[in-house]
Structure 1
């Protein structure tokens, strides 16, 4: 009689161990959503009047470059982080201490100090 209860307990523990194995196996597979860089190639210049928002993604183990994603109405554009406007935007972003409430200040600065048009004589 004692052998049957021990056998039943062992079977139950084995079943529980198998279930836990599969539950943790599936849980670890969904940890990393972004597996590579979102920006493969970035533009060197953009029209700042049409930019509504931006996101700066720092280097990480999955992507070894800074990514600057600019949002236009209905479109997302990548800005080259090594370009002059890319460096200015990163400097402003660091200057506001990565505060998302003050992101619009950097956009205003970029619109104001954007690319200069040649004067017509």
Structure 2
């Protein structure tokens, strides 16, 4: 029993240190995805006027595919835009990647569709 009073403060100190160091953070771990985001890709482009913005995620160690995530414009006053994945090998996917590479000056993943005026559908 004399062992418990000596170990308990050390255990509490270890828990506090882990919390302060960020070693365990449920919100961060829930947001980090260790796989590709896109399970299914659209094989055909969407009309440009239906797309609000797009994100291009380059290949990563846990996902060797370039992923294009389209955020569609809100319909019927919905609170969130619907997200769809676009096959990066479609004409529209290639055009979006080209626009993103040429106009993305601050290296962000998400880009407004209005920044790509020449992007074609298909």
Do the two structures share a fold, i.e. TM-score over 0.5? yes
- Unpaired runs of 5+ residues, structure 1, are 1-6, 116-121
The verdict on how the C-alpha distance between 1:64 and 1:16 changes in structure 2, with shifts beyond 3 A counting, is farther
Q: Residue 41 of structure 2 aligns with which residue?
A: 42
Q: Are the counterparts in 2 of residues 96 and 102 from structure 1 also a CA contact under 8 Å? A: no
Structure 1: distance between partners of 2:14 and 2:63:
31
Taking CA–CA contacts closer than 8 Å with sequence separation of 6 or more, which of the two structures ends up with the larger relative contact order?
2
In structure 2, the residue matched to 1:97 is 104
Count of matched residue positions in the alignment of Structure 1 and Structure 2: 104
Taking structure 2 as the reference length, what is the TM-score of the superposition? 0.64
Does the C-alpha gap of structure 1 residues 87 and 20 become closer, same or farther in structure 2, counting only changes over 3 Å? farther
Structure having the higher helix fraction is: 1
| Cα RMSD (Å) | 3.2
Gaps of 5+ in 2: 75-80
What's the secondary structure of 2:38's corresponding residue?
A: coil
Scaled by the length of structure 1, the TM-score of the pair is 0.65
Q: Larger C-alpha radius of gyration, 1 or 2? A: 1
1:61 correspondence with 2:57:
no
Counterpart among 16, 22, 45 of residue 9 in structure 2: 16
